[in-house]
Amino acid sequence: MSIYSIWCLGISGIMAASDQSPAPKLDCKKPAFDFGERENCGEIEHTFVIHNSGNLTLQIYGLRSTCGCLAPRFTDRLVPPNGTVHIPVKFILRGRQGPQKKFVYVESNDPTTPSFPLCVEGMINDPLELRPTALFFGRITTHTSTTGTLMLVTTGTNVLGRVSAHIDSPSFVVKTFPSVNNKSVCLNVISKPPLPEGLTRAALHISTGHARVPTLTTVISAFVPGEFSIVPPELLLVGQEGDIIRREVVLRSESNLAFRVLTVEPPIKDLLSAVSTTTPAGYQIEFPKIPVQRQLDGQAVRIITDHPMRPEVLIPIRVFIR
């Protein structure tokens, strides 16, 4: 036998001996627990069984969870060869919804898997769900009556009782249309013209007849643009004191009524402006040289028009000195 062959056999023996060196081995036959579908109340408890299949004592350093909703603990830190240890895990369901997949990592002296993952997964349902959770009508005109729909739905074996609803604003009314199986209720929210300009918000209060969730409250809102839309709605001046900057605004009639800009009155003298027509119902007003001055903060540019509904438009000025 050659010297090289003897050397190879020696190296193989050393490697085999090193592979058989004493070491702990953390095993878990069921490292994942699926709790199925549950409501978002109470808690779930499950116990994982950890086995040491190695030939050296397994030492558990600690448990690390990926979510505060998981509360793991262990009964023993030291697990002898062929021994087992129980790791109870408590999963708090309150406040959670939808598919869940959370992990607890067992930190140990296992050289191959020093951080062993245990998984808790399943689906959590809200016993009572409002779809959508809030209702926004978007941009509507002041004299438009618009209807929006909400669905109140219960899951599992839960049923709804007598459902009623009211809104704390005269700008909206609500009508309920219960289903025959007491599992869902349709709520139609209708805007009542005329609505004021700007954003209108109201609270919708629902008595559900449900044992666990007897009441629900959500927000109803709508935006009614004024006769003029101004973009941007203010002149924002940012810079060092005395800087000269350029700004422009677009003024447009939401009703597409043709009008004229008669004059532009700045808060200080020598503040130049240039007015150009974009459409018969819209203008671009440019301010090519505006000084960044503290004295302009809180003041406004006054625009005079021949529009019968808005003869005067004020554009506020805000100043930020760097």
Percent pLDDT > 90 in the chain is: 52
Question: How far is residue 153's CA from residue 182's CA, in Å, rounded to a whole number?
Answer: 9
**Burial (Cβ within 10 Å: 0-12, 13-18, ≥19) of residue 145:** exposed
Nearest to 212 by CA among 269, 161, 174: 161
Q: Is a pLDDT exceeding 70 seen at residue 20?
A: no
Q: Which CATH number fits domain 20-125: 3.40.50.10490, 2.60.120.280, 3.40.50.170, 2.60.40.10?
A: 2.60.40.10
Q: With left for phi above 0 and alpha for psi between -120 and 50, is residue 82 left, alpha or beta?
A: left
Which residues make Cβ contacts (< 8 Å) with residue 309, sequence separation at least 6? Answer: 227
Q: What is the pLDDT of residues 95-104, one digit of tens each?
A: 787 889 999 9
Q: Is a pLDDT exceeding 80 seen at residue 19?
A: no
- pLDDT band at residue 157, thresholds of 50, 70 and 90? low
Helix (H, G, I), strand (E, B) or coil at 81: coil
Do 172 and 135 contact (CB within 8 A), yes or no? Answer: no
Lowest mean pLDDT among 13-17, 80-84, 106-110, 235-239: 13-17
Domain with CATH 2.60.40.10 in the chain: 20-125, 128-224, 228-321
Do 259 and 266 contact (CB within 8 A), yes or no? Answer: no
Q: Is a pLDDT exceeding 80 seen at residue 72?
A: yes
Average pLDDT of 139-154? Answer: 87
CATH 2.40.30.10 correct for 228-321: no
- Fold classification of 128-224 is Immunoglobulin-like (2.60.40)
Determine the pLDDT at residue 18: 46
Average pLDDT of 114-131? Answer: 88
Q: What is the pLDDT of residues 177-220, one digit of tens each?
A: 877 677 788 999 999 998 887 788 899 999 887 777 788 899 99
Question: How far is residue 95's CA from residue 89's CA, in Å, rounded to a whole number?
Answer: 18
Average pLDDT of 144-148? Answer: 91
Token pair 């603990």 is found at 73
Do 261 and 315 contact (CB within 8 A), yes or no? Answer: no
CA dist 130 → 87, 168, 252, 296 (Å): 38, 19, 38, 48
Looking from the CA of 90 toward its CB, the CA atoms found within 13 Å total: 8
